Structure 1
Amino acid sequence: MYRVTKDLETGKILLDADNLKLIAEGEGRGLIIMDAPLDLVQNQPPERLLSDFLRKEKIPFGVAYATKGFDSGDISRILLDDKTTMSEFLETNKEATAFFDDIIYEVFGFVADSGKNKITHIMSTGGKLFDSAKEVVSAVRENCDVYIASGDDYANLNRVADKLGISKENVIGLCDDIRKEEIILDLQNHYPKVIMIGDGLNDMPALLAADYGILISRSNYHSPEELRDAADDIVDDLGECTELLQSYILE
């Protein structure tokens, strides 16, 4: 995924941004993902307030990741006086979606700071499937049920599921790190082994809880030591997971 983030305090555009690292650098910050249809966002008047858009269009949203001192209830309080407009999303979306030719994934979100009582950053993401994604899913499907659990919205996740042949019943969106851990723990009540593949800070509790956790560590993602320690194995690319998964499944 290619993320484009705008710092509303400086006006600076951050290309290929690591939003989880941005959240982790301070207390009281939350990354909020909107479950909003792409065409609805793109057709908004630029001057429309984000708060008005969320309220009147009844847009669901979730906290993908947050640090100590942030509560989901802070979002409504922050939005009461916030003056962020939809033009910020249109600007970042244009940059994010131009990066890949075969894009299937477009996510919109923002960073809410409870200490500053305002939205500090706007984020748009453009994404495509890993080149090896279909191969990895096909390799384990005979012996495993495959689930998607993500902080992103359901519309995008369901498109990914369609491409990979994963049942939409196995798609759980708008998950924060705690919800991902809960999903792992619940699946362990139904399966003898539960494997987790993740790539970010909001995957750490789930990697720890899983019977076997694999971290995809990439150069443009923040992978602190505690995240790396949470995994049983670390790879640089999803394609490297096939052999590891088959070996673990057949143990």
Structure 2
Amino acid sequence: MIKMTKKAIVFDNSGTLLERFRVIKDLSTGEFITHVNSLDLIDSCLNAALVVLQFNTNRLKDLDPNTLISDFVLENNIDFDISYYSTDVSKEEIKAILEKDTAIIKDITDTFPLLKERVPGMELCNGSAVIIDIEEERISYTITSAGQLFSGVKDTIAKLQDSGTDVFIASGDRSGDIRKLANITGVPEDHAFATASTDRKAEIVANLQDEGYKVMMVGDGPNDILAFQKADAAVLTTEQKDGDFPDKLKSYADFVIEDISEVLQIDF
């Protein structure tokens, strides 16, 4: 009897399944940034971390805009996770920085009008994050984001599942958003991993391999590189056309695709 190899595909979320839209506010200048990837900002710094705040951003609309972000996070026991970093840092160190930071809720809500202009009425994956300068011990940028599914996502996932391939999501985005995305796309909730750091994505791939899966990793950013290295097949998707994809990132990919449906043609 021929033993069939189990196959799994792990998708990144933002920029892979979702066309992302984000607005970044530079707290040192007040400038709004819309065409820079937040991961590229972190890579340009020696000591920075992307911290995802685990709450629905819409909660901020009813707050005093001068409320400290730190007060809101700590007094409401808002969980947070470190999604990406340019240097190792612990949650305890991040919490200590947050406790003394002076950024205010307005630094987040200021971005709402511009985000709404870009994605009118959009709710999918509408979240907030901050970039913390670890050396200067302060919030240097706030980020709000939203997204819409690329057109072929649901059909592609359905066809993969029909063919016997198990589908997983591993994303740096907050847990509420990833649960919602799983429900929309038909991915089981226990196959959807939120606020997954670079190391965690690689761990997810390795755990699936230990379970007997042959694993394809599909992503679009530097936070997918370790998972690319671990996977049996690494696929870089360039469907999110809001920036350049560095040659270094391409060098880790076995395949480069322009449309998510192209994964259906890859034999691994």
Q: TM-score range by the shorter chain?
A: over 0.9
Partners of 1:163 and 1:69 lie apart in 2 by: 34
Report the CA distance shift for 1:156/1:94 in structure 2 as closer, same or farther (over 3 A). farther
The equivalent residue for 1:239 is: 261
1:43-62 mapped onto 2 (5 Å cutoff): 43-62=62-81
Partners of 1:203 and 1:40 lie apart in 2 by: 31
The equivalent residue for 1:88 is: 107
- Count of residues paired in the alignment: 246
What are the Cα deviations for residues 30-81 of structure 1, in whole angstroms up to 9, with x where unaligned? 0111110233233222111000111111111111110025443331222122
Structure 2 runs not aligned, ≥5 long: 1-19
Partners of 1:41 and 1:222 lie apart in 2 by: 33
1:215 aligns with 2:203: no
- The structure with higher relative contact order (CA 8 Å, sep 6+) is 2
| Aligned-partner SS, 2:204 | helix
Q: Kindly indicate whether the alpha-carbon contact (under 8 Å) linking 1:18 and 1:222 is maintained by their aligned counterparts in 2.
A: no
Give 1:98's aligned amino acid.
E
1:117 aligns with 2:130: no
- Report the aligned-residue RMSD: 1.6
1:205 aligns with 2:226: yes
| TM-score, normalised via structure 2 length | 0.87
Displacement of 1:91 after TM fit?
A: 1.4
Q: Kindly indicate whether the alpha-carbon contact (under 8 Å) linking 1:23 and 1:66 is maintained by their aligned counterparts in 2.
A: yes
1:14-163 mapped onto 2 (5 Å cutoff): 14-68=33-87, 70-101=89-120, 103=122, 104-142=124-162, 143-163=164-184
Q: Kindly indicate whether the alpha-carbon contact (under 8 Å) linking 1:29 and 1:113 is maintained by their aligned counterparts in 2.
A: yes
1:10 aligns with 2:10: no
Q: Kindly indicate whether the alpha-carbon contact (under 8 Å) linking 1:6 and 1:123 is maintained by their aligned counterparts in 2.
A: yes
Displacement of 1:102 after TM fit?
A: 6.4
Displacement of 1:170 after TM fit?
A: 1.1
Moved over 3 A (4+): 69-73
Partners of 1:124 and 1:177 lie apart in 2 by: 21
The equivalent residue for 2:246 is: 224
Q: Kindly indicate whether the alpha-carbon contact (under 8 Å) linking 1:34 and 1:62 is maintained by their aligned counterparts in 2.
A: yes
1:181 aligns with 2:202: yes
Displacement of 1:213 after TM fit?
A: 1.1
Give 1:10's aligned amino acid.
T
| TM-score, normalised via structure 1 length | 0.92
Partners of 1:30 and 1:131 lie apart in 2 by: 32
| Aligned-partner SS, 1:26 | coil
| Aligned-partner SS, 1:125 | strand
Q: Kindly indicate whether the alpha-carbon contact (under 8 Å) linking 1:99 and 1:126 is maintained by their aligned counterparts in 2.
A: no
| Aligned-partner SS, 2:166 | coil
Partners of 2:136 and 2:166 lie apart in 1 by: 43
Partners of 1:144 and 1:160 lie apart in 2 by: 19
Report the CA distance shift for 1:110/1:222 in structure 2 as closer, same or farther (over 3 A). farther
